[in-house]
Amino acid sequence: MFEKLAVMEQKYEDISSRLSDPETLSDNKLYAQLMRDYKNMTPIIEKFREYKASEKSCNEAKELLDGGGLDRDFKEMVQTEYEESKAAMENILQELKILLLPKDPNDDKNVIIEIRGGAGGEEASLFANSLYRMYTMYAESKGWKQEILTAQPTELGGFKEISFSIEGDGAYSRLKYESGVHRVQRVPETESQGRIHTSTVTVAVLVEADEVELEINPTDLKIDYFRASGAGGQHINKTESAVRITYLPTNVVVECQDERSQHKNKDKAMKILRSRIYEAMQEEQAAKVASERKMQVGTGDRSERIRTYNFPQGRLTDHRIGLTIYRLEDMMNGNLDEVFDALATADQAAKLASQEE
């Protein structure tokens, strides 16, 4: 590991020199790539240099202790320095191991989140709306941009289904653990007798794939245009602005009718379609590496029940890592960093343990 870090440090210094080179500054594409590499390497190199500084202090203190001839007070001071430096080295070493874990190439990408009401009828649709609000409030707290791509609202203010994009630095790295079944336990707004009702909602977090990453052959698409309709089936316009796109090789179907413009609906449908195809490709690759799939906290299995929201007790429980927080209202208002941090830490620990086996 230390040989790898030494090589990386040399590369880091080379990149630092190249970034001030006029030839690099005149090439925008090269400069952007080098800056990205420099930014990604900086926390690792800084931590490696911390380790080397602690190692130097530890070795110097050990030499003094081994040499003998120290008076009692000075020896105690050197002994303390030795122990503190040694402890610091151990802590930094663990931090370095985490920093050196292979980075998910999708972590910095934007996401598309799909929320669908499951068991529970209208109450599930209402909770789908609650989750949509929760994620968009979290996005807002990060300064990220969100846009609804397609939605099927219900007459009581819920969503049978809603798909929306979130754009911002590190969006996927924070939201990728949300895929799965979310269970809610609460007294429904539609329940007159005050009984606690259990409903489920399915969440899928997709990487937003752009046209460069995923080229789709136009001959593989079947595109239909039809009149858009609102809740209850009434027509909301008289032109065929709604779009249905079928990807023929796998029969993936995406519909979009939220915009009055046929062109805008087609663009949004293609954005969702590309992300679904990209996800299917990733799942196929992950299936070939079963061990990697085992060490993930859970970033894709939509049938897995991952979390319970118990409103009478004000409790949020994430079943994958045994995390329980009694601040449900706070969480539903988008204050989710505590949950996301715990999931990321558990994922890192699982990957570390897998590497050490």
Q: What is the distance between the alpha carbons of residues 348 and 342, in angstroms, rounded to a whole number?
A: 10
Q: What is the mean pLDDT of residues 53-73?
A: 88
What token pair was written down for 105? 């190439």
This prediction's pTM: 0.68
Q: Is the CB of residue 209 less than 8 Å from the CB of residue 110?
A: no
What token pair was written down for 195? 């009984």
Q: What is the distance between the alpha carbons of residues 146 and 140, in angstroms, rounded to a whole number?
A: 8
Query: Do 218-285 and 111-208+301-353 fall under one CATH topology?
Result: no
Which pLDDT band holds residue 221 (cuts at 50, 70, 90)? confident
Q: Is the CB of residue 148 less than 8 Å from the CB of residue 162?
A: yes
Q: Mean pLDDT of all residues in the chain? A: 83
Q: What is the distance between the alpha carbons of residues 131 and 115, in angstroms, rounded to a whole number?
A: 8
Pairing of strands 305-310, 180-186: parallel
pLDDT reported for residue 51: 92
pLDDT reported for residue 49: 93
Minimal CA–CA distance to 115: which of 124, 103, 105, 128?
128
Q: What is the mean pLDDT of residues 40-68?
A: 90
Minimal CA–CA distance to 185: which of 88, 310, 285, 304?
310
pLDDT reported for residue 233: 42
Q: What is the distance between the alpha carbons of residues 306 and 180, in angstroms, rounded to a whole number?
A: 6
Give tens-digit pLDDT for 121-167: 888 999 999 999 999 999 999 999 998 888 888 888 889 989 899 99
User: Tokens 């779009």 belong to which residue?
Assistant: 243
| pLDDT over 70 percentage in the chain | 87
Every domain of the chain and the residues it spans: 2-99, 111-208+301-353, 218-285
Give tens-digit pLDDT for 65-121: 888 778 888 888 989 999 999 999 999 988 888 888 777 778 888 898 999 988 878
Architecture of domain 218-285: 2-Layer Sandwich (3.30)
* CATH T-level topology, domain 111-208+301-353: Alpha-Beta Plaits (3.30.70)
